[in-house]
Structures are given as structure tokens and as C-alpha cells.
A and B are shown apart, each in its own frame.
Chain A
Amino acid sequence: MNNEMKTTSTISLHGRAVALTLMVLGALVMVYPYAYMVGSSVKTRKEFAEDKTSLIPSRYQIGEQIAHARGEPSALDWPGADWSVLRNYVDAIRYGHIDRYLANSFIYAVVITSLQLFFNTLAAYAFARMQFWGRDVLFGLLLATMMVPPAVLLIPNFIIISKLGLVDTTWGVIIPGFAGAFGIFLLRQSFLNIPAELEHAARIDGCGTWGILTNVILPLSKPALITLGMFTFMGSWNMFEWPLVVLSNQDFYPLTVGLSLFRSETGADWPRVFAASVMGAAPLIVLFLVAQRYLVGGISLSGMKG
């Protein structure tokens, strides 16, 4: 922080103003697609067909309102102009079953995240604190699994899942995701930073291994656990290709696959698809705003500390 302050103090006011302006312009480029998505999601079908680019539906635009007040023809005369703002959202749920897909995504994300946190904690604790034969080799093996690109695993993972008889089931979607080398690596780093004296003290107080884990290690590793939880939750919420391949029963579709299906089902009814998209993107954005410091910290950690 101190470092940052010093850097900026040497930059002229002019340079700072230019940088700030450019960053604001960049932020607009970042936010525009979201504004477009939300704006389009409250348009009627006709409004969207007539005007694909505006961010505000024509019936809410001032010019149309004035024309309407003067009794001239305006967008407020179009069929469906009396629709409520949330009409497309209601329709997306009623006809597109977006609520079911959202619930499925939520279940997948919660189950995968819980399993990851549980099993990765166990493994990370063993790798950080226990002595056993073959430990370093096994840890190296685990790290090496990170080097295998997911695109290459798509087909064989599908074959394994189908041999296990889990194609088109919830567990088929979940199982390959429930342990990950990245998570074990992240947690192990965090566990290693906890002083061993604390553990010895707990052992003298009569704690077993399990007690140490729950009373000493986990409370002190909250940031790492939250970071891993967020990463896993977001990864599971956003997964697309794997459930697309494993599932054929729509009842099990997560939001991503359901959205893709809803788009082809509805044909040209794009405002509804946008409404569904907003519902699909919103939960993660809210989660991110609540807990972003853990995520951003985690990225720096994963990116920079090797």
C-alpha cells in the first residue's frame, strides 16, 4: 500500500486524469454488455425486433412518452406495451423452467463445493502435517493432474462415467469435480503457515488429530477455505461442456445448459432469453460483491506465488 502511494505521488495530476479517464472508458466497455442484457430483458418482443441497440425499451423513452401524451402514434400503442417490467422474467420461469435450472445449478455448486472443501481439507492436512511413506511422490502426482487439459479429458471422463452407469444422473455431473489438486495445493499452503506449536499445545490439552483439525487448523485457515469455496462454487456454476455431454434429461440440466436449450426452444423470443440470462448471472455477481476480497486475494495467490 505504502509502495503504491509513493508510485502515484510521482505521477503528475495531468497523467492521473488521463489514466482515470481511460479507466472509466474501459469500465463502460466492461459494463455495456450487462446494461444491454438487462435493457433487452425488459423489452417486449416487438420492441426488441424494432430496435435492437437501445439500452432502454422504447416505451420508457422520453420521446415516445411525449408523443403518447400528445396523442401521436408511439411505442406505447404497440401490443404488449402495458407489460410489466418483469413479464419476461415470469415467462422465462413459466415456459423455460429457468427456476428449475437455477435450483439444479445451485445444488451442483453446493454439493461440489462441500465435497471439495471436505476431501481437500483431509488430503491437504495429511500432506501438510503427517509423515507417511510416499508422501512427496503422491503430492507430485497430484500436482501433475493439474497439467492435463480439460478438453482432452472430456471423452474419457464420459466413458468412465458411462461405465459406472452414471450417464444422465446428478452424480455423473458431480463426481469428476469433487476433488481437485488446485484446492489441495491452496489449503496445504495455508496449513503449512500455521505454527506447529499451536498443534502441540492442543495435543497436550488432549486433542486428537480430528480435534486439532476442527479446533485449530480450520478456524485459522478461514480465508483459504473461503477462497477455495468461492472458486469452486463459481467454477461449478459456470461449467457447461461437461453437463452438456453427460446429461440428456432436461430435469437435471444446470442453468448454463438449460439456457442454451431455452434459446433454441424459444426461437426469436430474445428478450425472454435475456431475462433468463440475467437470472443466471445475478447470483454469482451478488456472491462476488459480498466476498470479492477473498477471490481477488486468491487470484493473486494462485497467479503469483506459484
Chain B
Amino acid sequence: MARTAVMASSTLLQRVTPYFYIAPAIGIACLFSFVSMGVSLWVSFQHYDAFAGGSQFVGLDNYRRALFAEDSYFWLAMRHTFAYVAMSVVGTLLSALPLALLCLRAHYGQALFRTLYFLPSITPGVVLALVFFHIFGNYGQLLDHAWSALPALALLGVWAGAGYNMVIFLAGLTEIPQLLYDAARVDGANQWQQFRHVTLPMLRNTLVFVTVMTIIGSFQVFTSVYIMTSGGPERSTEVIAYSIFLNAFSVAGQMGYASALAWLLFAVIFVFVFLQMRVFRSRRIYDE
């Protein structure tokens, strides 16, 4: 009798145990993502002041202000963000992929190059921003002009990410079967043709992965703007993440408005997130 009771309780315990294992992780992960998104959506319909504690429902007014108001900086910030993203993607593809190809070709010192090129990825963004604040100041006052400040920030982003993306490209390159190159050479393909018709197609998934990750990352650029330009000169480096930060934490009572900006940013990023999920799925099929 007692024995069956013990057994019953142990199976119940066994059935519940997995939930104890996953509860803390799932709880925190969901609280600070999905619940958080819900809070953000709710706040975006309010005039909200987290410091004063007051809130008032205003419907879509925050979105209307962001999208249509005369004094809205949303479109300006979005333009700058898109320009930054475009420069980052082009810069990354034009630096990281050639570096990976060169690294393979150089043959010697690959480990050393990997280490050196990787340094920026393990350095706090604040430190990089402080150093480049001077380097850009020393060579042409890049941060003092409205036309060059944003490209300078993008250059820092590309420089900092080059090693990381190079490592990803290296992994993709070494997975291409040598057989394909041999076959191409037998068919009389020169170096360029081998790159164009073997390397690029075989690297397609890696290319999409790096591109999408760069896009998602640069849409959220903040640290370098905060440290190096504070959005200036003449608002030329005011990007959307900085706009959100300013409105939420520097101007009282604008948290609702800033949340509306955040949701608009999310809508844009989501397109790319969706793309990323598609790529993950296609990659898995490709692997199998």
C-alpha cells in the first residue's frame, strides 16, 4: 500500500521534474522578450512617464506623431539608419569575404591573423568608440562634418566586425569540396570564373547569413553614436536606436512615443528576421 503510494508520487514527480528544469530559463527568457514586447505595445498607446508614474491612453497618437507630425524626426532617423545599414552591409561584404579568401591563400599565419583581426570583437564598444573618436579627429575631422560623420561611424562598424565575419566566411570556405575546384579547372575555368561559379554559389548561405546578421545588428547601432557624436553634427548621425533612447530616457514623459518608435523599428527589422528564419530552414535542408 505504502509502496504503491511512493511509486505513484515518484511518477508524478518524474512527470513534473522537466518543468522544474526548464522553468527558470523559460520564465526569464519569455518575461524579457514576449511579455516585454506586450508591455512595449501597451505603452506605445499611452502618454507614459515611468519616472513620474503617470500614464494616459492616447490610442495611435504616438504612431501618428512619429509618422506624420511636422516636427517628427522619425523619417530623418530612419533615413540615417538605412544609410548606415547600407554602408555597413556593403563594407562588410567587401572586407570580410576578401579577407577570408586572402587568409586562405596566404596559408601562413592564419591563426595569428584570425587572432589579430578578431580583437575588435572582444573589445568593449565604448573603448573602440573612444579611440576612433580621436583617430577620426586626427585624420580629416570626419566627425565634424554632417556629410562624413555617418560614413565614419559605419567605417568603425565595418572595421570592428571584419574579423568576426571573416571567421564565419572562413568556416564556409573550408566546407566547399575541393573536388568542385578541380572539376572547374579541368573545364578550363580561370581564378575569377572559379570564384564566380564555384565559390559564390557554394557560399550562398553564408553570404545571406552574414548579410542578414549585419543588417539586424546595424539597425540597432547605438554605442558609437552615443559616445562619438551624440547624434550630431546637425542631427546627421541621429539613428533610430539613439532616437528611442533619447526620447525614452532624456525627455520626460516620452516613453510612449519612444515605444512607438521601437515598434516601428521592430516592424522593419522583422522583415529581415523573417528572412533569417527562412535561411536557417533552407540551410538545414541543404545540410541533410
Contacts and interface: CB of A to CB of B under 8 A. Distances in A.
Whether A and B are associated in the same complex: the answer reads yes
Interface of A: 3-4, 6-8, 10-11, 15-16, 19-20, 22-23, 26-27, 29-34, 36-37, 40, 52-53, 119-120, 122-123, 125-127, 130-132, 135, 138, 141-142, 145, 147-160, 162, 175-176, 178-181, 184, 209, 234, 237-238, 240-241, 244-245, 255-257, 259-260, 263, 270, 273-274, 277, 280-281, 284-285, 287-289, 292, 295-296, 299-300, 303-306
A256 B123 CA distance: 10
B171 A159 contact: no
A152 B244 CA distance: 9
Interface stretch (B64-72, B83-91, B142-150, B260-268): B260-268
A306 to B, nearest CB: 5
Which label, helix, strand, loop or mixed, suits the secondary structure of the B interface?
helix
Given A8-B107, A304-B206, 4 more contacts: A7-B181, A19-B107, A181-B29, A300-B168
B181 A179 contact: no
Contacts of B130: 259, 263, 273-274, 277
Interface in B106-142: 106-109, 112-120, 122-128, 130-132, 134-135, 137-138
Contacts of B17: 126, 130, 209
9 contacts: A15-B105, A27-B113, A30-B159, A130-B18, A135-B18, A148-B266, A158-B248, A238-B124, A303-B206
A8 B113 contact: no
B102 A23 contact: yes
Query: Would you list the 5 A-B pairs with minimal beta carbon distance, nearest first?
Result: A19-B105, A126-B21, A123-B25, A300-B171, A151-B220
Contact of A149 (B138, B227, B269, B280): B269
Contacts of A160: 31-32, 35-36, 39
B245 interface: yes
A299 B164 contact: yes
A16 B115 CA distance: 20
B258 interface: yes
A32 B136 CA distance: 13
B171 A304 contact: yes
A21 to B, nearest CB: 9
Contacts of A178: 28
B258 A155 contact: yes
B209 A303 contact: yes
B223 A296 contact: no
Contacts of A31: 116, 119
Contacts of B26: 123, 138, 141-142, 179
Contact of B25 (A119, A147, A273, A292): A119
Interface string B272-288: 01001100100110010
Contact of B266 (A26, A123, A149, A244): A149
A147 B167 CA distance: 23
B30 A141 contact: yes
Nearest to A184: B25
Given A53-B138, A151-B241, A260-B227, A27 B28 contact: no
